[in-house]
Structure 1
Amino acid sequence: MARVVVWHVPVTVTGRTTALRLFRLRDGRRCAVGFSSAAALTDLLGAGQAAVELGEPALRALTAPLGVRDLVLDPRLVAPPVADGTTRPSAADRPAAQLQRR
C-alpha cells in the first residue's frame, strides 16, 4: 500500500468553524497551499497561523467542489515586504510616479 504524504495546510479558525485558507496565483486563479513541515509554514505565514495535516488526495477532494485545481507545495513569498510603519520608505521604494515629480 502506498504511503500518503501529509502536508501542513493553513486554515482559518472562527469559533468552532475551521476552513481551508485559499490563496491566489499571480494570474488570479485560486489555489490551495501545503507545506512539507510545520516549520516551513511558520517561516512563511507566522507562528499564529493555524494549520491542519492533510494528505494531498484529501486536500484536492476538499478544494475540487470550489473549482480550485491548483496546489502549491512549499510556496515562497513573492510579494514585496510590507512596511511596518517604523521606517520611512527610501526613494527606491516609492512608486516611479512619485519619483518623477519635480
Structure 2
Amino acid sequence: MLEDPLYVPVRRSSFSLALRLFRTAAGKQTAVAFTSPLRLTKVLGSDQNWIRLSEPALRSMIRDLGVISIVIDPAGTMSRPIFRTA
C-alpha cells in the first residue's frame, strides 16, 4: 500500500521551488506538512504554494539541512515574533 502524500509548503522563485521551513516555539528549525490542501490553506492561506511529497521523501530532503523534525497539521503559524511592552 502506498503512503498517503503530504502537502508541503514551498517558496517559488523564477527558476525553482524551495521547501519552506519554520521554527518551533523553542526556536528549533522544523519542516511542516499537511494531510490535505484544505488544512494547508486554512493555516497558511490560499496564496501558499505547495507540493505533494511522501514522508520519506521529505525526510530525505531535510536531512542534510540539519532539520530533524516534521510537524504535521500544525494548528497555526506565526509569521514573525510579536513584541509586547508592559
TM-score range, shorter chain: 0.7 to 0.9
Matched residue, 1:69 = 68
Matched residue, 2:81 = none
Aligned length: 81
1:22 aligns with 2:31: no
The structure carrying a bigger helix percent of its residues is: 1
User: How far apart in 1 are the matches of 2:34 and 2:5?
Assistant: 9
The letter of the residue matching 1:20 is L
Q: Normalising by the residue count of structure 2, what TM-score does the alignment of the two structures yield?
A: 0.88
Q: Normalising by the residue count of structure 1, what TM-score does the alignment of the two structures yield?
A: 0.75
Q: Which has the larger radius of gyration?
A: 1
Supply the RMSD in Å over aligned alpha carbons: 1.3
Unmatched tracts of structure 2, length 5 or more: 79-83
Unmatched tracts of structure 1, length 5 or more: 80-94, 98-102
Percent identical: 40
Higher relative CO (Cα under 8 Å, sequence separation at least 6) belongs to: 2
Shift of 1:5: 1.7
